[in-house]
Amino acid sequence: DVQLQASGGGLVQAGGSLRLSCAASGFTFDDYAIGWFRQVPGKEREGVSCISSSDGSTYYADSVKGRFTISSDNAKNTVYLQMNSLKPEDTAVYYCAADLEYGSSCRTLDPGYWGQGTQVTVSS
């Protein structure tokens, strides 16, 4: 079974950093697009970042460009989201999700698998 395990959330002061991890299992980690999403209660889920092994594409929401960096370690079947210069408005539950269709791209990301969320709280 495909499983995604998100971790790394926590409480941090504004300006601080966190690194989220999305550990994947149950599929060959060589053809995927994995995205990070976040959601605040009462608001729509927001796509934050994405990385594709199929076409090498990455995506960042305008709100995180220049502060967040997505990367992958194929040897560890893990995708990371390095979050720097965190702001209170980054507070949310963060989820990772995978699109495992052949040739999946960040441009057409349609996740079929979701991990559990990890809470990120940024204090002012």
The mean pLDDT of 66-75, rounded to a whole number, is 96
Task: Tell me the pLDDT of the chain averaged across its residues.
Answer: 96
Per-residue model confidence (pLDDT) at position 15: 98
> Of 32, 11, 27, nearest to 97 (Cα)?
32
The label of the residue with tokens 């299992």 reads 25
**Residue from 40, 35, 47 nearest 89 by CA:** 40
Q: Report the relative pairing of strands 18-25 and 33-39 from DSSP bridges.
A: unpaired
Where residue 7 falls among pLDDT bands split at 50, 70, 90? very high
pLDDT at 55 exceeding the cut of 90: no
Question: What pLDDT, on a 0 to 100 scale, did the predictor assign at position 103?
Answer: 87
Position 54 scores a pLDDT of 87
- pLDDT confidence of residue 29: 84
**Residues of the chain with pLDDT > 70: what percent?**
100
